[in-house]
Every structure is written in C-alpha cells, then in structure tokens.
Chains A and B, each alone.
Chain A
Amino acid sequence: MAGLVLRRIRDLVIVLFLVGTAMFFIIHLIPGNPAIALLGPYATQEQIADLTASMGLDQPLLTQYVTWLGNLVRGDMGESIAFSGPVLPVIFDHIMPTILLALGSTVISAAIAVPLAIHAAAKPRSLWARLVTPVTAFGLAMPSFWLALVLVLVFGVIFRILPTSGYVDFGTDPGQAVKYLVLPIVVLVSHQAALFVATLRESMSGELLGLYLRSARAKGVKERGVLYRHALPNALLPAITVIGSSFGNVLGGVIVIETVFSIPGWGQLLYNGITSRDYQLIIGVTLMIAVVYVLVNLIADLLYLVADPRVRVR
C-alpha cells in the first residue's frame, strides 16, 4: 500500500510538470498581452511597455519558462494580476464552493444510483430496466449548461422558488447556502448519476451471475440480503474506478456550472483569469485541478485495495 502511494506521488510530480508546461506554452500562444488587459483601453504605449518589462514579459519565451519553472519548484506560483497578490492564497480562498459542488454531487449521485442500478439489474424485465438505457443516455448526452439555463428559467424565473445565481457561505447562513446550491448540484447530478447507474448496472448484472449468490440463497439468505450484502459490494469494485476517473469530468462540469450560476469557486476563478489574461492564476488553478484529480484517483485506488482482499495480497 505504501508502495502505491509513493508511486502515485511520483506520478503526481510528472503530471504537474506536464500539465504546467503545456498550460504555460498554450497560454503564451494566445494573442493578447496581460499588460494591455490590466491597464485598460486608455493606457499609453510607454505604460504598457513598462508594465510588460516589469512583469518580465519582454524576455524570450524560454527564459520566461525557466524562471517560471524555477519559481514553481520553490512553491512560488507567481502573482495574480487581477487579485494583485500571490496566486496560492487566492486559489485556497475559492476552494470551498468547488469542493461542495463536486463532493456533494458525487455523494448524492451515488446515493441515487445504487438502488436504481440494483433494481434495473435484478429485475431485467421491469419497466425501469427497459427505461434505464434511454434515461441514462439522456442524462449523459444533455449539455449541462443548457440544463442549467432551463432549470434557472423554470425554478428561478417562472416559479421563483430558488435563487437564479449566487452563493452564500455555509458559515453565514446554512439554509440560504443550501438553497443556492440546489440547482447547480441538480445539474451536476443529472450527468453523474446517469454515468453511475449505467456503470453499476453493468457490473451488477455481471455480479448477479456469480455462483456465490446461489450459495447465499442456499443458506437461506433472503433476496434483499443477496442483492445488498453479497452482490453490491462486489459490483461496487469496478464502479469505484469509474467514479474516480470520471472525477475529471465532474471538475470540468463544475467550472461551467460555476460560471452559469456565478458561484465564486475555481471555475469562476479560471474563467475570470482567462478573460483578464491572468497567466499565473490560470496555470495555478489548472495545476490545482490536476492535483485534486490525481489525489481523488489515488483515494479510489486505495478504496479498491480496502474493498477487494484479492488485490491486497499482491
């Protein structure tokens, strides 16, 4: 287990290097100058040149890259232009909403998906089993920003039950905070739950052929116990991997959703960074997303290790 963690940490370093490098060059390929964006349309040529020089942007690209990499190794992710301060604290200030959305939607999706998937797998002739494929396909195919807009229109504008956009911190008013989170989470869940149901039903159908279920029934275990106590834990194993690797999609979805609902998380941070040419902020957020992604997958692998004794021995 320790070996796995060490290997993953090594992988993380490689991933961060690759992601950071790729982001660095892609951003610099985009036309536009942060100094112009920062100073606004009325700045003089000298002002722009001064600021460009002071930010080191007049250096050759390779020199800039080496400087940037050196700083990164020392833990310095640079200064954000928009927030006029170091990037890292800014990123940590905006972590809560993103975590709430990603984690909340994952947990809720799993909670919804398990019984739906079990029912579909255990009763293949039922109405739900026949509907599950088109329903999950719909959930997976529907663009989340479109669903978000429709939900806002229905619940925010027409019925006025839920706020259309914004975010309230849990510390200040939990009731309000939940209200603001409902719509974004519903959007995220619609996609994620569909994915989980599809995956879990597949592995559950396979597990239901397992001969150990017959043994369980032979000792008098009732059908509910057979499904939930015997089949489910084994069917969850492949699902753990899928949930882990789909977390990247969740983060991508969160970014779009935060922009639509004006939630001050990493998504909005990234969006604002891109519009204001805030190079360091963009790279910083991207790197943090990469870190989270690798960590979540590490956790998924460790969970797998705990859940499946056969893997543990190797």
Chain B
Amino acid sequence: MSLLDVRDFTVDLDGEEAPVSLVRELTFSVERGEFLCIVGESGSGKTVAALSVMRLLEYTAPTSQTGQALLDGDDLVAADQEQMAGLRGRKIAMIFQEAMEALNPTKVIGAQLIEAVRQHPGELAASAGSSRRDVAEAARAKAVDLLRQVGIPDPAGCMGKYPHQLSGGMQQRVMIAMALMCDPELLIADEPTTALDVTIQAEILTLLVRLQRERGMACILITHDMGVAAEIADRVAVMYSGRLVEIGAVGEILTIPRHPYTRALLECVPRVGLVGQKELQTIPGSVPHPAMQLPGCRFAPRCHNSSERCTAIEPPLAPVPVQLGTGAGAGGMATALRTSDRLAACWHPETEPLPGEVEVSRQMSDDLAGPPRQAEPYLVLGGVSKRYAASARSESLGSTRTSGGVLAVDSATVSIAKGEFFGLVGESGSGKSTLGRLIAKLEAPTAGSISVGDVSVEQLKGRKRIRDFRRDVQIVFQDTTGSLDPRQTVGRSVSEPLRSLTDVRGEALEARARELLQTVGLPLDYFSKMPSELSGGQRQRVAIARAIACNPQLVVADEPTSALDVSVQGQIVNVLRRLQRELGLTYVFITHNLSLVLSVADRIGVMYLGALVEIADAETLVRAPAHPYTQVLLRANPDPHNPRRRSADGAETPMLGLDSETALVDRTVGCRFRDRCPRRQERCDVEVPELTEKRPGQSAACHFPLV
C-alpha cells in the first residue's frame, strides 16, 4: 500500500456564490522512500493541494475538501483538526517557501524546534525515560543533533539565536530540522528554494535528497522550476489550472513529455548555449481562473494541437500508450516505457521526444544578428564604487567616509557597446542591482566615472541636462506591483515620462501612449485599465512601454522577469529583444537566472560581492568559464535539459553557497572568492586579483583562471 494515497481529491473555495474548485479530482500516490515533484506555474493549484492535504488551508481561506487522501491508513479528509494536529509534525511535516516568514520572529530557534516534539510527547518518551526532565533533555539533544545534520555550523549556538540572525539558507535549514523533529514519514516541501540563490538552492536540494534517502522518507516537493524537479525527483507530476495533467518517472517526463503543456513548459526553459538563435519559447495566453467554466480541456485554448473534442470533453487522466514517432527510437527509450505508471490527461498526446542537447556550431553563431564586437563603447564604467553607510542616518547625511558600511559595488570597470545586450549576473548581495541603479543615476557613485555616450553621468548638473539624460537612460524594475502607481491608469503611467521629459502634449501624447501599448503587445483597451486588473506579465509590459516612451538609448532592466512564470518570461524577453532590433537599444540586463541570460545576452558580466569577476560572451562563458565562481554558478544552475546527475547517496560534490561567513571575507586583501574557491592557493590570500584579459574577449579577476 502506498504511504499517501490521494484519489479524486477536490478542494473547493466556498464563496458567496457557487463554490469554486481550486483543485479538481487530483489522483496520485506516493510510496515510502519516493521523491515526487509537483510542477506547475502559479495558479496551477499545487500549493493549494499540498496545504489541503495537510488541512492547513482552511485556517486562512474558506475551503473544504472532498475525495480521499489516505496517509498510512489515516483518512486526512475525514479527520477533524484535533486529529490532524496529532498527525501533523509526527507523520506528515511541511516546509515552506519563505523561511524568514515561516519562523516565529520572537522565539529562539531552539524553542521552536523543541516545541515540535512537545506536541507529540509519545515520540521521545519511549527512548528517553518517563520523567519530564529526561524528555526535555532528549528533545534538546535531538534538536542540536538535527541542526548538525542539516549543516548548521554551530548547532548549540544556533539554538539560542533568533531567525533574523540567520541567512536565508540557514533559515531554510532550520525549517527542515524543525520538520524532522518527530521523524515524519512524509515531508512536503513547498518551493523551499525559490527565494534562494542558485548555489544555496543546490545545497538545500542536496541536503533534502540526502535526508530523504537516509531516512527512507517520502518527499513531495512543489516547484515551478522544471530544472529543480529534473535534479531530484523520482517521479514528476505536472499540474495545470487545478488539474493533474501528467505524471510519470522523471527521465521519461523530461525526454518524452506526452502532455502538450508539459512539453511547452519544458520548451519555455531557455536552452543554455542557444545564444540569440531564435525567439524564446512561450505559451500564448494565460492560466484560466479557477472560477472560469470550461467544458473541455483547460489547456485547450493555449494548446497548439487542440481539436473539437478537446474543447468539448475534458480528457481524463489515463495511461498513455507508447506510440512514439520514428525519431524516438534512439537508445530504445520507447520500449523502456511502462505504460501503467505513466499517465496523461490529453486526447492527443505528444509523440515526439524533446530534442536533446543542441550543439551550436561556430558557423551558426557567427551569423548572429548581434552588434559587431568592436563597436564603439557607449556605456563606459571606470572604477565605479558605491559605499553605503552603516546606518540610514549617516547615509542620509551624505557620509563620505571611505571605510565602514558596505561596499556594494567595488571598482567596476567595463565598457558596453551601442546596441549590445549586456547581462549582469550574480548571487544576491553581489551588487548587480546597485550597479544598475548607479548607471541609471538613481544613486550617486562614491567613486569612479560613468559615461553614457558623451555624457559624464556623475558630473551631470542642471535640470535640463538631467532631463536629457533621463530621456536617454531608463530603467525597468523587478516588482511591477511596486513600480507602477496603483492609482494611475495604464495610459497615464505610460505617458508620464512623455509629460515630464518631452513637450508632447494633448492628442499626440495619447496617440504616442497607444502606440507604445501596441509596441509591447498590449491590447489598446488596456489604456484605461488599472495596474491591479493586469497580470504580472502584462504589468511588466506596461513598465517596458513606460521605459521606452521617450526613445531611450540605454535601458537598465533589473530582474524584469524573475517574478514571472517561465511561460511569461519568454514573452517579456522576446519583447525586449524585438525592441532592441527595432530601436537599436542597448541593454544592461540584471538577473540571477543563468539559463535566461546565457541564452539572450551578447556579453555577460559576473559579479561577486560587489566586484566584476568575469566578463565574456555567453558562449565562451558556457563552454569555458575562466573564473571558478562562474563555474560554481554554472554548476548550480538547475537545467531540465541537462540535469545534474546525483550519485546514489544523493550528494554530488558539495558546493558551498554564499553565507554570512563567506560574505564577511576581508575584501581589501587577497581574492574575495578565496573562502569558497576550490583552486585557492597562497597567492589568493595576499594579492587582490585584477580583472585582466585571459583570452581575447574574456577577462577574469583570478590568479589561477580555468583557461
């Protein structure tokens, strides 16, 4: 019997009117010792399903569930909350996305861990004797032991710390330890690594797999990232609009997706190495709202292969027959398929396997439509630094002290050609966003020079000249809810720069604003809508329209797609690239998403703790990175097209992410990456490496580069 057996599991949101099914007739099972990943975009119902199995959703939303969910014989649908409290933590535990939010801010870590055992005293009493003191002692010992197991450097000291004193990665480790306090048989992890850097994500995933294998525990991991699923799952379940659309073994799903949505989702993930080859894949349209009644398949309106049958009758989840096209014969993959555990809800399942790793030939990349490499520099940074004062008070007083505080950007030097798509990547805290804000003159650099065209940015004085500069340089931000005025219509937001920076008025202004909406691919009737009526992707289009309103030369795009689903991400990047071709824009594209930047940028600057450590074109970076840090980033990047293989014990070579310790490295002596570097030698401890050219077109700040 399966550990968790979910059958026809439906979650209804009881509203004023008819109940809305957030999750509909979900059927799947999880075996002991199995790692299942539930993948889907936002709105797919994956988190709702998990929270409802835990019966946690009903505390914050008026939901009810029907169907069946058996956990080792216990009926999770019929149980009351009293019984559920007895199961939660003991047999089924859960970890969440935002560890900082998910830990009580005013309780020390130790108390929060021990509390988990205190709810289920039977768990420890057997081994620890009967007296209360013994149990408390045993609980404490167990907490310290678990903190050690999840990789906290000083477990005993950590017990007395508060959550905010730990870094994001450490907080997530604490969450995991807390979930394991009563040795649950099933662990549900809801996007546990989404808010973390790729390197830390790799660490946490390795840890989860290791713990899962060691304990023979079952795991359900919810993620939007096919790359994550590819790396750790035994089986993958794909959800769309509240339905399970496909489930099967991970290798099969990734290579031969049978449901068109699964396939589209995989194709949307940018392929590293396909630099500037073609438009990024997208899925047209958006996920239908749960309340929307659709008679047929909910994916049909977005599907490239939908028939009348699809729009009339909803396809059930059924075993998919193996009828692969002739191209799939290679390696006997098709014959290895067992139809019984491969299910898809589709009338016309896909038959072609996904293309394997694409080799980009030299010749192809030479045909790139990108700018000539030796074009004259447009944006030139010369030793740009930014130091933030230690406190907000001294910052606002304009402290000019050269020590103390945080050196967010440390002597960045680079020149970017006109019409170039320049990517900036790095972990959080690398200073990439700060550099973007310095370029856009939203903040003033502490030292160094920035010139855009023939304008020296740091010496820009006078209202008119600053206005001229603002016309030429614009910025697009990550968070669209924050960067668009919620009380201004789309039309007003888009025309605002025209009003404040140009003399365009009246009808011409409105005409221009409408033209801009068209340029970014928004319907004209959006002109009078409010930002809250738009989806995230649409809002980002508005932000882009606003940025290009005055025909700028340079656009700084600060993580414009990181809050968006992968299918929408492609749409936004395609818009940006089309504008680049049509308007000759120069981009500084800031992101933490390596797959994305490697597939779209001409050149990429890698930042680490404030400094540019490597600059090269995307292809060179993928094939032969020079700086060990770039290699670390590349290795940590989850890529469903080329998943990292994990050895039997679940752990690859351990890769240490940036944590509070390594971030404190003394940057004035030696290499700032030395504490994390596998190639560290004595010279790295004493001599600061300069950014120098290692090969034509590739510079790195490293004494012992990889090339």
Contact = CB atoms under 8 A, between A and B. Distances in A.
A129 to B, nearest CB: 15
A114 B98 CA distance: 29
A196 to B, nearest CB: 20
B105 A220 contact: no
B88 interface: yes
B345 interface: no
B174 to A, nearest CB: 11
A212 B60 contact: no
A222 B85 contact: yes
B490 to A, nearest CB: 29
A216 B103 CA distance: 8
A209 interface: yes
Interface centre among A211, A220, A222, A230 (most CB of B within 10 A): A220
Nearest to A234: B106
A219 B93 contact: yes
Interface stretch (B112-120, B195-203, B644-652, B654-662): B112-120
A158 interface: no
B85 A217 contact: yes
B164 A309 contact: yes
Contact of A217 (B59, B90, B179): B59
Contact of B119 (A209, A212, A219, A233): A219
A218 B60 contact: no
B643 to A, nearest CB: 29
Contacts of A225: 119
Interface in A2-53: none
Interface in B178-236: 178-179, 181-182
A310 interface: yes
A222 B88 CA distance: 10
A70 interface: no
A214 B104 CA distance: 10
A234 B105 CA distance: 8
Interface string B92-106: 011010100111111
Contacts of B96: 211, 214-215, 218
B162 A310 contact: yes
B85 A216 contact: no
Nearest to B57: A214
A220 B106 contact: no
B321 to A, nearest CB: 40
B82 A222 contact: yes
A292 B103 CA distance: 37
B56 interface: yes
A214 B106 contact: no
Contacts of A219: 88-89, 93, 115-116, 119, 178-179, 181-182
A220 B102 CA distance: 15
A99 B82 CA distance: 45
Contacts of A309: 105-106, 162, 164
A216 B175 CA distance: 11
Interface in A272-314: 307-310, 313
A235 to B, nearest CB: 10
B73 interface: no
Contact of B164 (A212, A233, A310): A310
A223 interface: yes
A223 B81 contact: yes
Contacts of B102: 211-212, 214-215
A209 B60 CA distance: 7
A221 interface: yes
Nearest to A212: B104
B547 interface: no
A212 B181 contact: no
Contact of A220 (B51, B60, B86): B86
A223 B93 CA distance: 17
Contacts of B94: 215, 218
Interface string B141-166: 00000000000000000000010110
A210 interface: yes
Contacts of A220: 85-90, 116, 119-120, 182
Nearest to A210: B101
Nearest to B81: A223
A211 B47 CA distance: 14
Contacts of B89: 218-221
A224 B177 CA distance: 24
A200 B583 CA distance: 56
B408 interface: no
Contacts of B51: 214
B566 interface: no
Interface in A209-256: 209-223, 225, 229-230, 233-234, 237
B98 A211 contact: yes
Tell me the dominant secondary structure on chain A's binding face: helix
A212 B105 CA distance: 8
A221 B81 contact: no
A308 B104 CA distance: 11
B409 interface: no
B104 A216 contact: yes
B268 interface: no
A224 B602 CA distance: 58
A31 B270 CA distance: 85
A218 B165 contact: no
Contacts of A218: 54, 56, 88-89, 93-94, 96, 179
A212 B88 CA distance: 15
A9 to B, nearest CB: 21
A102 to B, nearest CB: 28
Contacts of A217: 56, 59, 85, 88
Contacts of A212: 101-105
Nearest to A312: B162
A296 to B, nearest CB: 23
Nearest to A125: B62
B59 A214 contact: yes
A310 B105 contact: yes
Nearest to B120: A220
Nearest to A308: B106
Contacts of B115: 216, 219, 221, 229
Contacts of B106: 233-234, 237, 307-309
A125 to B, nearest CB: 10
Nearest to B103: A212
Interface in A181-231: 209-223, 225, 229-230
Nearest to A223: B81
Contacts of B85: 217, 220-223
B102 to A, nearest CB: 5
Contacts of B120: 220
Nearest to A211: B101
Contacts of A216: 104, 115
Interface in A87-126: none
Nearest to B86: A220
Contacts of B54: 218
A210 B106 CA distance: 12
B35 to A, nearest CB: 19
A212 B120 CA distance: 19
Contacts of A313: 164-165
Contacts of B98: 211
Interface string B351-369: 0000000000000000000
Given A220-B85, A220-B89, A308-B105, 20 more contacts: A211-B101, A212-B101, A213-B59, A214-B51, A214-B102, A215-B103, A215-B175, A218-B93, A218-B179, A219-B116, A219-B119, A219-B179, A219-B181, A220-B88, A220-B119, A225-B119, A229-B115, A234-B105, A309-B164, A313-B165
Interface of B: 51, 54, 56, 59-60, 81-82, 85-90, 93-94, 96, 98, 101-107, 115-116, 119-120, 162, 164-165, 175, 178-179, 181-182
19 contacts: A211-B101, A211-B102, A212-B102, A214-B51, A214-B96, A215-B102, A215-B178, A216-B104, A218-B54, A218-B93, A219-B181, A220-B89, A220-B90, A220-B120, A222-B119, A309-B105, A309-B106, A309-B164, A310-B164
The 6 closest A-B pairs by CB, nearest first: A220-B89, A219-B89, A220-B119, A219-B116, A211-B101, A309-B162
